[in-house]
Structure 1
């Protein structure tokens, strides 16, 4: 029996990942569709097409410091472990959002939520398991001033990554970031932080995980045609969420390539961190 979980799964790419997993898996398998609003979770589950794996709704707000651990414990009790985890929960920002006003909740969801998910679910991975964090090609040091690179290459633990994110958050909140080399677009340091977190965890686990057929990686789905992306870019020719989900689902299903382990993967290819 295969057990899978997707965070941020009530719409867009997350919903497409749940549907794709359910279609690819068997009726004896279970896919957990999770989100921060139980009404939306229930509605999303009810709208799933029939056939394939059982889709089960679960409340999981990654901004809640205890939520990932709670759900992980429940899944361990029910199933003993887990096979596939997609960390897709994200707080999106629009062009009119003031970074100083939104950065607190933004980092709670996108960054601290990512490290909580990694800490909670990595220990539960079964042999041949997959733990994939949806990030972006913006999550590379190419988009960051060299003077800031050590903030993301120096940490060797997830707690140290969180400390660097907290320092950046505070600089944004009090306005200091504007006078430094930090980019104004908060998505860039945040995505770099997500990719760095995956790299740190992978460095701790690489040898054992590869021996067990486990893949931990960050993934870039590319530009997607969604209303939020349309606020920033012309996405009229971009893939739909269902189309964008295909490469991520293939990564979860195909045999592990060692060169993907701990890296940012886009359409089957590794995107260099630096």
Structure 2
């Protein structure tokens, strides 16, 4: 008899994260447990209760407060899951801080970097060793996460980098924002560009160290691009949502990757969009015209 599976989603109170929890709860079994996590205790409890009692929910659902910017809290939760369950089977790192267009991005940088990048690093560092054989650790990124979106002067900082080197590069970027040298150094004004490249670079760094063992036991570590999703986070930035997916639609392709039996070695450690790899070196830096549209 197989042990119950333990799944966890960060940034899961609403939007894509909530849809990922709903999809897992519908597709996993009655003995399995899905943990819906976020920073606000009341919102976490309300969202978890709603999912738990929704039509179509099959698995157990519970809410847990988790601030991914607190690496000690992430590590403590992992220790608890190891003690109670022997590890974890599915982890989807989805937490992101919302950017708004009516404030300069430089003023929003710290919180955004702390959540999207610091949170990703904490999840990778603590949860990867706790994955049980056949586990899945997925980081939600975007098409902006390929290396070619960076200025050529910056690419060597992330290409083939270790997790520690990625962290150092991210902090160098943060420092350049604060001291006013980011544009001169080639960092894109749009925070999403360096942040997403760094997220994928972090995934690649951890995956490179674990590849042989993970492929041997059917474990997958990867980044995913869910495509354009109509959420409160993305809506302020786009005028035309006619081609956008609902969170539930976007979650479907991510969960197909998570729940497919076996691991395609070609997908391991890569950025995946609708089941296809987005090559690491593809992409072009945003143009000056593009950047002029960003506050």
- TM bucket (normalised to shorter chain) is over 0.9
Q: Distance in 1 between matches of 2:160 and 2:169?
A: 10
Return the offset for 1:178.
2.3
Select 1:100's aligned residue among 97, 106, 114: 106
Deviation at 1:232, TM superposition (A): 1.2
Whole-angstrom CA distance in 2 between matches of 1:162 and 1:92 = 21
Which residue pairs with 1:167 in the alignment? 172
Mark the CA change 1:154 to 1:26 in structure 2 (over 3 Å): closer, same or farther: closer
Deviation for aligned residue 1:236: 3.3
Give the structure 2 partner of residue 16 of structure 1: 19
Q: Please name the residue that 2:197 is paired with.
A: 192
The answer to whether the Cα contact below 8 Å between 2:34 and 2:62 also exists between their aligned partners in 1 is yes
The SS at the match of 2:190 is: coil
TM-score by length of 2: 0.90
The answer to whether structure 1 residue 2 and structure 2 residue 5 are counterparts is yes
Structure 2 gaps of 5+ residues are 282-295
Q: CA deviation at 1:146?
A: 1.0
Q: CA deviation at 1:229?
A: 1.4
- Aligned 8 A contact 2:15 2:232 in 1: no
1:268 to 253, 264, 275: 275
Displacement of 1:176 in angstroms is 0.7
Q: Which residue in 2 is equivalent to 1:79? A: 85
Q: Distance in 2 between matches of 1:27 and 1:124?
A: 23
1:116 aligns with 2:119: no
Distance 1:97 1:43 in 2: 30
List runs of 5+ in structure 1 lacking aligned partners. none
Comparing 19-28 with 222-231, which one deviates more in the overlay? 222-231
Paired residue total: 273
Tell me the SS of whatever aligns to 2:203: helix
Q: CA deviation at 1:180?
A: 2.7
CA contact (8 A) 2:158 2:165 kept: no
Distance in 2 separating the partners of 1:31 and 1:205: 25
2-side partners of 1:16 and 1:220: how far apart? 15
- Give the structure 2 partner of residue 205 of structure 1: 210
Instruction: Report the Cα distance in structure 1 between the residues aligned to 2:210 and 2:153, rounded to whole angstroms.
Output: 29
Indicate if the aligned counterparts of 2:138 and 2:223 stay in contact, CA closer than 8 A: yes
Check whether the contact 1:229–1:235 (CA below 8 A) recurs between aligned residues.
Answer: no
CA distance in 1, matches of 2:186, 2:167: 20
Given candidates 117, 131, 139, the residue that maps to 1:125 is 131
Q: Which residue of 2 aligns with 1:253?
A: 259
Question: C-alpha separation between the residues in 2 aligned to 1:168 and 1:17?
Answer: 31
TM-aligned CA deviation for residue 107 of structure 1? 1.1
TM-score, length of structure 1 as denominator length = 0.97
SS at match of 1:47: helix
In structure 1, the partner of 2:46 is 43
Q: CA deviation at 1:154?
A: 4.6
Moved more, 174-183 or 106-115: 174-183
Cα offset, 1:103, TM superposition: 1.2
Instruction: Please give the secondary structure, in 2, of the residue aligned with 1:89.
Output: coil
Structure 2 distance, partners of 1:94, 1:168, is 20
Instruction: Check if 1:66 corresponds to 2:90.
Output: no
Question: Match for residue 134 of structure 1?
Answer: 140
State the shift of 1:159 in Å: 1.7
Determine helix, strand or coil for the equivalent of 1:236.
Answer: coil
